[in-house]
């Protein structure tokens, strides 16, 4: 057992924010504490894998988030298997774009942050509270963003008070913006957003929403070399999560394979070049 004075000191230092606690005890352990510096061998964006593209949209009863599987390093494909969408807690999901390594560290820290709050307070943080905590983490990464290692997440969740799905975007300064209906981030986001505008409609069913997300990523991959499309040869499909009143759920690979193959088949049959 800890000595009484040590236990008391830990109790005094504890707070509802795990990241604030780490900042006070061991600030060098935080992702934002890294210092890339300059080694003369090229820019940070050329040396570190970057994650692209994330889409999110609301549907009847919840919200969906999907990400492609490609990471790039300059003009090289660094990975075809990376996952960019993760559960933050039972009722929220987080998608990452930008510097992959730092974004993954921020994701893990955010997951622990929410779990820590729940254990300290005995209740889940509100969806707005989660969005604000994530904004603070993005803001803390600004010095690295100025060195070319930006982290730009997309956050979505089910608001258990309002009983609706909501989604939030961020800029590198930690600005938090609630989006309506749908949104996309990453290098292919311009093309994905154009597809979402045409394909999204109110009160989509869950299966329809999955198809819309897969097709938006397909269109992004068609015009953006940093975005990976469905890979039939390697059997690689986007990572897709839905969040509703029952919590988050990862869409099975077989469902994604079927959605992707239907898109490919329909465009092949119609003889579409674009």
- pTM value? 0.83
Positions of the chain with pLDDT under 50: 7, 38-45
Query: Residue 83 corresponds to which tokens in the numbers above?
Result: 């996952």
pLDDT of residue 173: 92
pLDDT for position 39: 45
Mean of per-residue pLDDT scores for the chain: 86
Helix, strand, or coil here: 163?
coil
On whether the 45-270 domain is CATH 3.40.350.10, my answer is no
- How far apart, in whole angstroms, are the C-alpha atoms of residue 256 and residue 192? 17
In this prediction, residue 40 carries a pLDDT of: 43
- Interatomic CA distance for residues 153 and 170, integer angstroms: 6
pLDDT of residue 129: 95
* Cα–Cα distance for residue pair 50/7, rounded to 1 Å: 42
pLDDT of residue 19: 63
The first and second tokens of residue 29, run together, are: 């352990």
Asked about 52 being catalytic, the answer comes back as yes
pLDDT of residue 257: 95
DSSP codes joined into one string, 141-153: THHHHTTT--EEE
pLDDT on residue 271: 66
Tell me which residue has tokens 């909501």.
166
Q: Where are the alpha helices (DSSP H) in the chain?
A: 4-13, 18-25, 44-47, 100-121, 127-140, 142-145, 189-199, 206-223, 253-269
Q: CA–CA separation, 94 vs 114, rounded Å?
A: 12
* Annotated catalytic residue, options 28, 52, 160, 242: 52
Distance set, CA 262 to CA 18, 127, 177, 258, 271 (Å): 45, 35, 34, 6, 14
How many Cβ atoms sit within 10 Å of the Cβ of residue 124? 17
Question: d(Cα 218, Cα 222) in Å, to the nearest integer?
Answer: 6
pLDDT in tens, 113-167: 999 999 888 999 999 999 999 999 999 888 888 888 888 999 999 999 999 999 9
| pLDDT in the model for residue 30 | 60
Q: Hey, is 120 helix, strand or coil?
A: helix
Task: For 250, list phi and psi in degrees, rounded to 5.
Answer: -85, 130
How much is the pLDDT for 149? 83
């Amino acid at each position: 057992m800890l000595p009484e004075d040590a236990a008391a000191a830990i109790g005094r230092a504890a707070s509802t924010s795990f990241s604030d606690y780490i900042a006070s005890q061991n600030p060098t352990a935080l992702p934002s504490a890294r210092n890339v510096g300059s080694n003369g061998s090229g820019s940070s964006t050329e040396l570190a894998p970057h994650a692209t593209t994330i889409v999110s949209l609301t549907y009847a009863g919840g919200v969906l988030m999907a990400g492609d599987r490609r990471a790039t390093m300059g003009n090289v494909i660094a990975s075809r298997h990376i996952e960019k969408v993760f559960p933050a807690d039972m009722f929220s999901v987080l998608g990452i774009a930008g510097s992959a390594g730092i974004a993954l560290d921020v994701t893990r820290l955010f997951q622990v942050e929410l779990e820590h709050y729940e254990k300290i307070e005995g209740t889940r943080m509100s969806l707005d509270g989660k969005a604000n905590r994530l904004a603070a983490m993005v803001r803390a990464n600004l010095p690295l963003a100025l060195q070319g290692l930006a982290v730009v997440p997309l956050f979505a969740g089910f608001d258990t008070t309002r009983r609706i799905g909501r989604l939030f975007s961020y800029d590198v300064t930690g600005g938090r913006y609630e989006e309506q209906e749908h949104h996309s981030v990453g290098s292919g986001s311009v093309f994905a957003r154009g597809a979402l505008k045409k394909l999204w409609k109110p009160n989509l069913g869950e299966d329809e929403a999955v198809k819309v997300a897969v097709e938006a990523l397909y269109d992004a991959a068609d015009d953006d070399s940093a975005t990976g499309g469905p890979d039939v040869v390697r059997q690689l499909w986007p990572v897709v999560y839905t969040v509703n009143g029952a919590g988050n759920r990862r869409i099975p690979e077989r469902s994604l394979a079927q959605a992707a193959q239907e898109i490919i088949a329909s465009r092949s049959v119609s003889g579409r070049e674009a």
